[in-house]
Structure 1
Amino acid sequence: MNRSYALFLGCTIPARARNYEMSVRALARHLGIELVDVEEFSCCGFPLASADHKVAQSLAARNLSLSEQKGLDICTLCSSCTSSLTETSHELEAHPEEL
């Protein structure tokens, strides 16, 4: 079982749900799970999806690439980020030439 994950906070958690982040960090410590902060992470792209789907996908793909470069799976705390990153991951697997 993987014991280290890239912690993806997205835009909402730092701005509106710091207590959620603090709780997850405390729980991870208790369970012996390392949460790695990736400074280069950016917005997941979800807020842009309705205006420009390609830009939204590009942001998500960039974040996926950053975690892959570090050899880490991503742990997200926001359902919109989870959706955006998961959808882009599936699209990249199915159609890598499109991004």
Structure 2
Amino acid sequence: MLITALESIFSLGRDQITHTVARHSSLLISNTKEEFQNNYSKIKKLYNQRSNFIHGSNDKINLPEEDIDFTEELVRRAIIFWINLGGDKQQLFNYFNRLGYSE
């Protein structure tokens, strides 16, 4: 459900959802390009686990507590950031698309 929350906040359409969620989430929490790359990979992995479960490839998700804590904190920060920006998804999407780091 946490990854679905990130998808709801950061994605506007059906194209490149995994990339968009991972990129925008990583930009929110990263201070350096190296941090961004690490967070991008981690979030992409978490998103793929969620997708495999939702679409039937796996019948359960077994995450370490640290991944759950990481994702909870990420969702909390994303919601607060989005609210402070005015709660406009297009504005949020445009904001993160203008930022630097790339995977």
TM-score (normalised: structure 1): 0.30
Structure with more strand by fraction: 1
Higher relative contact order (Cα pairs below 8 Å, separated by 6+ residues): 2
